[in-house]
Amino acid sequence: MFERSLRILRPTAAVATLLLAAAACGGSSDKSSDDGSAGPATFTYWTTSWTPDQIKQVDADFAKAHPGLHSKGEFIASADQYLPKVISAIKSNTQPTVLMTQNASDLPEIAQSGKLIPLDGDLKQQAGGLYPGIKDALFYKGKQLGFARSGVGDIVLFYNKKDFKDAGIAKPPATWAELVEDAKKLTDTGKKRFGYYVPLGEAEWITFAWMPLLRANGGEMLTPDGAKSAFNSPQGVKALQTWVDLMSAKAAPTTSFAQAGSFDGAPAFASHTVSMMANGQWAVDTFKKAGIDFGVAPLPRGDVGQSTSVGMEVAALLKTSKAQERAGLEFIKYLATPQVGAHLAAANGGLPSAPEQLQQPELKDHIAKDPYYQTFADSLQFGKGRPMTPAYTAVSEALYTEINKALRGQETAQQALANAAGKADTALKEQG
């Protein structure tokens, strides 16, 4: 639930979604009368991640905290399937007051409808408390389009403890160069055992998993003004070369372990085909259930430091009635309080969106019971979200398509990034 599209991340989310379209639909059919006065109000919010039980709990807690205000949550569809629903609702004027989306880069486009209310000013202080990489990902052309509630996801390095011991490697690699060396040591071609999993195939996940490598080497996805791509740089080439080297050294499987629309390759680690992989918190449970003895560590350091990619669910305010908008804003502020943030992270899963949430007793207790949590939470300090641009999907597609070609040896890293940059720049020009 933490990523832009679970599709990407989890095996079936896509699927689920897919078919999508699933969805349960929520609706703001019950618009309360609108006279602009403060007072009782009922409003609807749409989520793409909470279960019905979680929604019920959130609604009850919010009503208790804000007597007179009633939130009505609906799970409308999974993350990669909710857009037709949202666009149709806005067109027919049945949109919810609060929309929670895992694809923050959809918000600039939704704002074009004129029905999205930027949160500038209203949540300035709360936004200031967020992890910097998360906060930056909420702004488009200077406007704050939404707020990141807790329930964030990032990626770390998973490693198979037994394999490390057998290969005589004492600790997880600290740099990407070390990772490549370790991966070679861990590879046993005869047994079809590989050191690392480089994600093959074409999906958003490939871009998401490559960004940390790019950024750790000092590269960036876009120029600071967001008008052009910036990944076609020496840093970018070096980042991609690391993956290409792993492939050509046969230290990574040459077949894709994609499953039902999810490209993170979790089955490769779960089946003990690879000894290391980058993946998110959702995979912990998978690997535990698969009976793998594993540890987690922050992603390795590059030339300039560490980085990870962050996915989040962003709450945006949509125009409905004045009373509902006011209530919806209260709801977002409510979600933004450290106590509620900590509670939601502990109860519903995912990471905090602001460091302060980590200090809350409820989350502390939760972390004490989960040996893996701290590593994920610590990585947030150097994590960054996807660039906020309506052209993000097109940029990402250009990138992962070309990366896949480079990994297959059909292009060099330089060619791949140059081609991707050409396509990305066109998309940015048209849509950015």
Q: Which amino acid is at 21?
A: A
| Distance of closest approach, residue 294 Cβ to another protein, in angstroms | 13
Sign of the torsion formed by the C-alpha atoms of 352, 350, 388 and 201: positive
204 vs 325, which CB is nearer to another protein?
204
Tell me which DSSP letter residue 297 carries: E
16 vs 342, which CB is nearer to another protein?
16
Token output for 45: 């919010």
DSSP 3-state assignment of 44?
strand
**Helices (H) then strands (E): counts for the chain:** 20, 14
DSSP 3-state assignment of 275?
strand
DSSP for 222-262, written as a single string: B-TTSSSB--SSHHHHHHHHHHHHHHHTT-S-SS---BTTB
Residues 398, 116: Cα–Cα separation, whole Å: 28
27 vs 295, which CB is nearer to another protein?
27
Residues with Cβ within 8 Å of 431's Cβ and at least 6 positions away in sequence, in order, are: 389, 390, 391, 394
| Distance of closest approach, residue 169 Cβ to another protein, in angstroms | 23
| Distance of closest approach, residue 198 Cβ to another protein, in angstroms | 11
257 vs 331, which CB is nearer to another protein?
257
Secondary-structure breakdown of the chain: helix, strand, coil percentages, each rounded to the nearest 5 = 45, 15, 40
Tell me which DSSP letter residue 24 carries: -
| Distance of closest approach, residue 306 Cβ to another protein, in angstroms | 27
DSSP 3-state assignment of 158?
strand
63 vs 290, which CB is nearer to another protein?
290
96 vs 298, which CB is nearer to another protein?
96
Name the nearest CA neighbour of 327 among 106, 32, 26. Answer: 32
| Distance of closest approach, residue 128 Cβ to another protein, in angstroms | 30
131 vs 194, which CB is nearer to another protein?
194
Name the nearest CA neighbour of 86 among 75, 71, 76, 74. Answer: 76
| Distance of closest approach, residue 432 Cβ to another protein, in angstroms | 11
| Distance of closest approach, residue 338 Cβ to another protein, in angstroms | 24
216 vs 394, which CB is nearer to another protein?
394
401 vs 412, which CB is nearer to another protein?
401
DSSP for 98-151, written as a single string: EEEES-GGGHHHHHTTT-EE--TTTTHHHHHTS-HHHHHTTEETTEE--EE-S-
| Distance of closest approach, residue 348 Cβ to another protein, in angstroms | 10
79 vs 130, which CB is nearer to another protein?
79
DSSP for 301-319, written as a single string: B-SS---EEEE--EEEEE-
- Helix (H) / strand (E) containing 354: none
Sign of the torsion formed by the C-alpha atoms of 155, 160, 161 and 163: negative
First and final C-alpha spacing in the chain: 27
150 vs 404, which CB is nearer to another protein?
404
| Distance of closest approach, residue 153 Cβ to another protein, in angstroms | 10
| Distance of closest approach, residue 287 Cβ to another protein, in angstroms | 8
| Distance of closest approach, residue 403 Cβ to another protein, in angstroms | 11
Q: How, if at all, do strands 294-297 and 274-280 pair?
A: unpaired
